[in-house]
Amino acid sequence: MGRITLTNIDRAYGKLKVLHDINLNIEDGEFMVLVGPSGCGKSTLLRLIAGLDQPSAGRIEIDGADVTPVTAAERGLAMVFQSYALYPHMTVRKNLAFGLENQNMPKAEIEKRIGEAARMLEITDYLDRRPGQLSGGQKQRVAIGRAVVRNPTAFLLDEPLSNLDAELRISTRAELAALHGRLKTTMIYVTHDQVEAMTLADRIVVMRAGRIEQLGRPLDLYNEPANLFVAGFIGAPR
C-alpha cells in the first residue's frame, strides 16, 4: 500500500509562508510529479511527506493512518536526492546494505535484495567500488538502488536527474519509468523539467508560490491548462 493524503498543510519559516493549505491525495501505485519554479515549495512538501520536517498545520496520512507524529525512519518511505547523498567511504554494496543492517535484517535477505536491485539498475559490476570511482549516472543509479532495497511504501524523489547531462537524463528517466512499471510502488517525483513531468507522470501537480495551481493528468493539463502560468509550464502555446 502507498496512499498518501495531505490535508490543509501549511508550512511557515518564521514569517515566511512557504506552503499554503495544500490538499492532495496520491493513490497507491501512482506516479505523481510535482512541478513548479524554483522556490515554490516542492522540496519542502516532499520533506514534510518524508517526515524530515513538520508542517505548521495540517495532517499527513499514509494508508489512512495519521503519520504526523511518526519519525522519518518509521514511515517506510525512501527518499532520493539530487545530490545522491551516498556514503563516500563505503563501497556500493555497503551503501546499499547499510540501512538494512541497521534494521537488523538477516544477512541472506540483505544479499538477496541487493542482488535484485543491482540487476534491475545494472550496477552489479560496480558493487565493490566506492562512489568516488563512479560517474554521475552510476552514482544516481546507486542512490535509487539504495531506495529500492528498502522496499518502501513510496519513493520520494527530489530532482533526481538534474545533476546529469542531457543524454543520461533521458536514459535514467526511462529506467525510472521501467522501475515504476515493475515495482508499481507509489512515486512522488519533484522536477522543474516539464518534459520529465509529461513523460513520467500519471498525474502532475503544478505549484506556484506554495499553492497548487492545477492537478491533473499530463494530457488534460496540456489541453486545458487552468491559466497562463500552467500553460507556460506545461509547454502549451500561449
Interface residues with ligand ADP (CB under 6 A) are 13, 16, 18, 36, 38-44
Toward Mg ion, which CB reaches closer, 43 or 140?
A: 43
Binding site partner of 166, from ligand ADP, Mg ion, none, Cβ cut-off 5-8 A by kind: none
**Residues touching Mg ion, count (CB under 5 A):** 1
Residue 125 per-residue DSSP state:
G
How many C-beta atoms lie closer than 10 Å to residue 108's C-beta? 8
Q: Shortest gap between Cβ of 31 and Mg ion (angstroms)?
A: 19
Binding site partner of 44, from ligand ADP, Mg ion, none, Cβ cut-off 5-8 A by kind: ligand ADP
User: Is 43 among the residues that bind Mg ion (CB under 5 A)?
Assistant: yes
Q: Shortest gap between Cβ of 97 and ligand ADP (angstroms)?
A: 30
Instruction: Give the long-range contacts of residues 106-115, CB within 8 A, separation 24 or more.
Output: 110/149, 113/148, 113/149, 113/151, 114/145, 114/149
Asked whether the beta carbons of 21 and 9 are under 8 A apart, the reply is yes
Take residue 51 and report the three cell numbers written for it: 517526515
User: Is 44 among the residues that bind Mg ion (CB under 5 A)?
Assistant: no
How many C-beta atoms lie closer than 10 Å to residue 122's C-beta? 12
Q: Which stretch binds Mg ion (CB under 5 A): 36-44, 131-139, 203-211, 223-231?
A: 36-44
Binding site partner of 76, from Mg ion, ligand ADP, none, Cβ cut-off 5-8 A by kind: none
How many C-beta atoms lie closer than 10 Å to residue 69's C-beta? 8
Q: Which stretch binds Mg ion (CB under 5 A): 15-23, 40-48, 168-176, 191-199?
A: 40-48
Q: What is the DSSP string of 60-105?
A: EEETTEE-TTS-TTTTTEEEEETT----TTS-HHHHHHHHHHHTT-
Q: Shortest gap between Cβ of 173 and ligand ADP (angstroms)?
A: 19
Take residue 137 and report the three cell numbers written for it: 549516472
Q: Shortest gap between Cβ of 5 and ligand ADP (angstroms)?
A: 20
Query: Which residue from 137, 186, 135 is spatially nearest to 24, judged by alpha carbons?
Result: 186
Q: Shortest gap between Cβ of 164 and Mg ion (angstroms)?
A: 16
Q: Which stretch binds Mg ion (CB under 5 A): 39-47, 60-68, 136-144, 212-220?
A: 39-47
Cα gap 126→140, rounded to integer Å: 13
Binding site partner of 18, from Mg ion, ligand ADP, none, Cβ cut-off 5-8 A by kind: ligand ADP
Binding site partner of 38, from Mg ion, ligand ADP, none, Cβ cut-off 5-8 A by kind: ligand ADP
Binding site for Mg ion (CB under 5 A): 43
